[in-house]
Amino acid sequence: MSFGTVLFLILALIAVVSAVGMLTSTNAVHAALFLVTNFVCIALFYLGLNAPFLAMVQITIYTGAIMVLFLFVIMLLGAAQVSLRSTLRWHGPLAVVLVLMLIGVAGVMAFSPAVNNNLTSPLALQEASTAFGSPQAVGEVLFSNYLLPFQMVGILLLVAMIGAVVLTREAKKPTRQPGPEESSPAGE
Amino acid sequence: MEEIAFLVPTSYYIILSGVLFAIGVAGVLLRRNAILLLMSVELMLNSANLAFAAFSRTFLDVGGQVFVFFVITVAAAEVAVGLALIVTIFHTKRSIDIDELHAMEG
Amino acid sequence: MNGLFSIAPLIIAAPFAGMLVNIAFGRRLMPNKDSIGPGLVASSMAGVSFLVALLMFVALLGSPQGADVPVLTWIDIQGGDISLNIPWTLKVDTLSSVMMLVVSGVGTVIHVYAIGYMHGDIDEKAYLRGLHGEEALDFKRRRYVKFFTFFNLFLGSMLILVTGNNYLMMFVGWELVGLCSYLLIGFWFDSPEANESGKIVGVLNSEAGKKAFIVNRVGDFGMLLALMLIFWTFGTLKFDDVFARAAAAAPTTPIPLGPFTPALGAVVTVITLLLLLGATGKSAQIPLFVWLPDAMAGPTPVSALIHAATMVTAGVYMIARSNVLYAMAPVSGMTVAVIGGLTAFVSGTIAVAQFDIKRVLAYSTISQLGFMFAAVGLGGYIAGIFHLATHAFFKALLFLSAGSVMHGMEHGHHAMAEGEHGGGGGDEGHPFDPQDMRQMGGLHKHMKTTTWVYIVGALALSGIPPLAGFWSKDEILLEASLNSTLVYVLLGAATFFTALYMGRQIFMVFFGSERSEAARHAHESPPLMTTPLIVLAVLAIIGGLMNLPFGGFNQLGHWLERSVVNAHTGSFNIDVSITSTVLGLLAIGISYLLYGRKPLEEGQRDPLSTTGPVFTFLNHKWYWDELYDALFVRPFNRLSEFLANTIDWAFWHDFVHDGIIAQFVEGSSRSLRRVQTGYVRNYALAVLLGVVAILVYLVVRFLV
């Protein structure tokens, strides 16, 4: 077993354990920290997959911005303690069965002999140039082939920002009822 | 970057991605806390991103990485709106238990 | 081909252009109450049509074989062994040229007349509705423009009918004129006063329009079936091809029609009988004539143009056009003749006992159309078309004169009402009706021109020599005397009644003493209306010159022989002429004895009513309406009510829908609603279930 494989397995173990930790945690803050661990692992995988740009984005946006936002909301709402109990009968067992089936299907698809040869052979066999996945390469594609989607995603972010502002805004004037004196201010 | 490359077959990444995704699904299905539900969704998105990156490396197509970038951006937007919704729900219901929101039952 | 023929499409385009101009700019062409812009546009376009018709006539003098003028590709369907290819082509030949001249010529005259008449008519209606100032002007603008829009549309449609070179174009025109007829009969569809003024007209204007339309639908149904059968039999709808193929084959040729293979002769008989059904609808013959008297609810120019001179003659034109087919089917020809004779007789007798001036003329029209049918049925195509033309002149003249009389009566009524300054109408006892002959009398003192032209028209209609009606009617009687005694007797009797009711009308309307205040104050119509009357009167006098039955004078006969294959020019039989003239003079004499020598006084009953039940029977139009009411209308209504109340409501709605389907839906949804728990996680689980199911299927399908 090569060093790369060992490293992969260790990181994968950390990722899965942290994910399960998030799943089972009774404290929302802990859950968020488990998830951060998981995201860092994934960032490291990106590095190993010749995607340094994605690794940086993953760290800055996910762990840096999104997870901080999560933590901020948890603190704001004071909802750190959460219950694990489910109120729905049949729901939990059925969900577990289906999730296991999902993993099974994923395994069969990943290792079935019928799938593409490329997937089962080690990635080292595919020679990658040093430029592949560099921020420059990604940027060139992003600003040429994907320029329109890029702009649209920018608009999407703007819309989401405005939406978040509108949703959380305190209703200053609760449901205005036009009273008789309000409707004719000129008469005063 | 070659020196720290994990030269395992793509299938390993796929199965890892599948497991993480399944854990995310389990989170969505089993947790009643709205924030944890949202976190589980993030986990699902990340597992998909991992698969994208792995395939991108396999087929040496940088388009996969661009997709991951877009997914991350959309996820950021989704989290912003989702958390805003949770805050609003908390303001009205004083709770973020997703099971208490079942006014739409038939 | 003569180059002149190529302008033929203009004859149809002009009226349609006039219609579009009036739709777009008509209201702007009427800045004030007295402007006649829309009428001028419509009339000048009708004039253009007439001009083109004249040019076609000139062109035909040069090349009498005529021409087919292609205009557009219309229907072009390529099939395997049978294809339907009908271009929009105009047929200019001697027959259609006669129709074009009559339609556009009389049409132009009536358009000009309508300019003046509609002004008065719309003012009258506005007055009755209590509209003043700007409101009245707006009302007038809308109605005036609408009238001429419809009128132009009618003219264009009628010209499509007579110029088409195939049955389908004819059918398009056929339906379009039916539509215009419906629209114009119901021109005062919202007439609030139609019911209350005690008119003899028993139905509301909109009801009359619907009656005309629905009765015509029965006929059009036959027409449509005939068209389909023609196409099935001959594989084409083009006149020339149909006739050529029909003439080329022997009557015994078997025709494969689905499971049957009848002989060609039988098929043609069915076709011609179905065509006849269509013709009886449009041309108001027994059994479908009941709509025409009620159609008099429309404005008088409409009655003159559509319901006397042009549209109702479409059936005659169609039979003359299909003469090859009718020649092959003697049974159908005889049926046409007998129907025509019966119609002429029945409606002639009804006309004698009517009091409404326009109704008398309506029944007279039906009667004269019966003459034309009898003629074409017996093979006298030239006599039929000849009578069609002369009848268009004098019947249009009579209708327009009647309109002039009504116009004068209405003005008299107004003058009187205003003179008394709110002292109430002069006829408190019975409401004023400008069409009731019992309220007229002595009008020759007030309306000189109208009186004279009316007398000319009446004499022409009665067949008194040497006016136009004498020559054309005589030719029909001659055909009848040679071919069928039954028809001859019927037509002879009809001739007698024609003269009787016309004499009665003249004496009742124009002579004696005035029987109402309105008649006392009546005055002559403006020159814009009387000039067309004089033009038509001249035509009614000299119209016979078209086809004098002597030596070289029967021009129309020779003219038509070129397009009507089976035409034969009439001869002159002194016995028939003397008989008909004597009958006419005798009837006029009787009418003088009854109405002229001792004129009716105000409120006096009709002398003919001494005949008691006979008069009542005739006055009620042989109870045709009542018969149809009992035979068709009421059973149909009962059936409709049964279908609506029992089948639709009780069975489908209450039993099937409310009972079975609604119960099932309610029950199943009562249990299915439990699926909608309202818990988001349940829905997510359902989605996951679907995802896993699809993935498992894919794995099994592709990988295992």
| Per-residue pLDDT tens over the stretch C300-353 | 999 999 988 899 999 999 999 999 999 889 999 999 999 999 999 999 999 998
Contacts 24+ apart (CB under 8 A), C604-612: C606/C353, C606/C355, C606/C438, C608/C352, C608/C353, C608/C504
Contacts 24+ apart (CB under 8 A), B58-64: B58/A118, B58/A119, B58/A123, B58/A126, B58/B10, B59/A118, B60/A126, B60/A128, B60/A132, B62/A132, B62/A133, B62/A137, B62/A138, B62/A141, B63/A141, B63/A145
Residue C695: its chain A contacts at CB < 8 A?
102, 105, 109
Closest alpha carbon within chain B to C671:
B106
Which pTM was predicted?
0.70
User: How many CB pairs lie under 8 A apart between chains A and B?
Assistant: 270
In a domain, B105, yes or no: no
Q: Which of A98, A99, A109 sits opposite C699 (nearest CB)?
A: A109
Highest mean pLDDT among C193-202, C223-232, C255-264: C223-232
Closest alpha carbon within chain B to A49:
B57
Query: What average pLDDT does the segment A156-167 reach?
Result: 91
Total domains, chain B? 1
Q: Would you tell me which residues 59-98 of chain B have a C-beta closer than 8 angstroms to some C-beta of chain A?
A: 59-60, 62-63, 65-66, 68-70, 72-81, 83-88, 90, 96
In a domain, B102, yes or no: no
Bridge partners of residue A27, in order along the sequence:
A81
Q: Does C695 touch chain B (CB under 8 A)?
A: no
Residue A184 Cα, gap to closest chain C Cα (Å): 37
d(CA C660, CA C670): 15
Whether the pLDDT of residue C559 is over 50: the answer is: yes
Query: What average pLDDT does the segment A3-30 reach?
Result: 90
In a domain, B19, yes or no: no
In a domain, B79, yes or no: yes
- Chain B neighbours, 3+ Cβ pairs < 8 A: A, C
Helices (H) and strands (E) in chain C, counts: 27, 2
Residue B103 Cα, gap to closest chain A Cα (Å): 16
Neighbours of C81 (CB within 10 A): 5
| Whether C202 contacts C294, CB under 8 Å | yes
Q: How many residues does chain B have?
A: 106
Query: What average pLDDT does the segment B91-101 reach?
Result: 83
Q: Which of A53, A98, A122 sits opposite B9 (nearest CB)?
A: A122
Token duo for residue B81: 């709106």
Residue-wise DSSP of B15-61: HHHHHHHHHHHHHHHH--BHHHHHHHHHHHHHHHHHHHHHHHHHHT-
Q: Residue C412: its pLDDT value, please?
A: 84
d(CA C123, CA C36): 13
Whether the pLDDT of residue A181 is over 50: the answer is: no
User: How many CB pairs lie under 8 A apart between chains B and C?
Assistant: 33
Token look-up 């004269």 returns C368
Among the residue ranges A79-88, A160-169, C676-685, the one predicted with the least confidence is A79-88
Q: Which of A15, A46, A79 sits opposite B20 (nearest CB)?
A: A15
d(CA C289, CA C282): 8
CA dihedral over A147, A148, A149, A155, signed as positive or negative: positive
pLDDT classification of A80: cutoffs 50, 70, 90: low
Q: Residue C200: its pLDDT value, please?
A: 39
Tell me whether residues C685 and A95 touch, CB distance under 8 A: yes
Closest CA to C619 of C604, C600, C606, C603: C606
- Chain A neighbours, 3+ Cβ pairs < 8 A: B, C
d(CA B43, CA B25): 9
Q: At what angle do helices C94-128 and C133-163 cross, to 10 degrees?
A: 160
Computed over every residue of chain C, the mean pLDDT equals 87
Using DSSP's 3-state secondary structure scheme, residue C473 falls into helix
Q: What letter does residue C689 receive in the DSSP assignment?
A: H
Token duo for residue C251: 């009557």
d(CA C529, CA C307): 19
Looking at per-residue pLDDT, the higher value among A170 and C480 belongs to C480
Whether the pLDDT of residue A146 is over 80: the answer is: yes
Closest alpha carbon within chain A to C691:
A102
The contact set of A with C (CB < 8 A) is: 88, 91, 94-95, 98-99, 101-102, 105, 108-109, 112, 114-115
C387-399, pLDDT tens digit by residue? 999 999 999 999 9
d(CA A183, CA B12): 69
For chain A, the straight-line distance linking the first and the last C-alpha, in angstroms and rounded, comes to 88
C59-108, pLDDT tens digit by residue? 998 888 888 999 988 888 887 777 888 899 999 999 999 999 999 999 99
For chain B, the straight-line distance linking the first and the last C-alpha, in angstroms and rounded, comes to 56
Whether the pLDDT of residue A177 is over 70: the answer is: no
d(CA C701, CA C699): 5
In a domain, B44, yes or no: yes
Helix (H) or strand (E) holding C69: strand C67-77
Apex CA C486: angle with CA C481 and CA C488, to 5°? Answer: 35
Q: What letter does residue C647 receive in the DSSP assignment?
A: I
Query: What average pLDDT does the segment B22-36 reach?
Result: 90
Q: Which domain range does residue B65 map to?
A: 33-97
Q: What letter does residue C67 receive in the DSSP assignment?
A: E
In a domain, B28, yes or no: no
Using DSSP's 3-state secondary structure scheme, residue C92 falls into strand
Neighbours of B43 (CB within 10 A): 29
Residue B93 Cα, gap to closest chain A Cα (Å): 12
Query: What average pLDDT does the segment A21-42 reach?
Result: 92
CA dihedral over C594, C596, C597, C601, signed as positive or negative: positive
Residue C672: its chain B contacts at CB < 8 A?
106
Tell me whether residues A102 and C691 touch, CB distance under 8 A: yes
Among the residue ranges A40-54, C257-271, C556-570, the one predicted with the least confidence is C556-570
In a domain, B27, yes or no: no
Q: What letter does residue C74 receive in the DSSP assignment?
A: E
In a domain, B62, yes or no: yes
| Whether B30 contacts B75, CB under 8 Å | no
| Whether C599 contacts C513, CB under 8 Å | yes
Q: Would you tell me which residues 120-149 of chain A have a C-beta closer than 8 angstroms to some C-beta of chain B?
A: 120-124, 126, 128, 130, 132-133, 137-138, 141-142, 145-146, 149
| Whether C328 contacts C268, CB under 8 Å | yes
Q: Would you tell me which residues 95-124 of chain A have a C-beta closer than 8 angstroms to some C-beta of chain B?
A: 95-96, 98-100, 102-103, 105-107, 109-111, 118-124
Highest mean pLDDT among A148-152, A175-179, C1-5, C424-428: A148-152
Residue A84 Cα, gap to closest chain C Cα (Å): 14
Tell me whether residues C695 and A94 touch, CB distance under 8 A: no
| Whether B101 contacts B78, CB under 8 Å | no
Residue C697 Cα, gap to closest chain A Cα (Å): 10
Q: What letter does residue C642 receive in the DSSP assignment?
A: I
Give me the percent of chain C exceeding a pLDDT of 90: 49
Contacts 24+ apart (CB under 8 A), C255-263: C257/C232, C257/C233
Helix (H) or strand (E) holding C389: helix C381-419
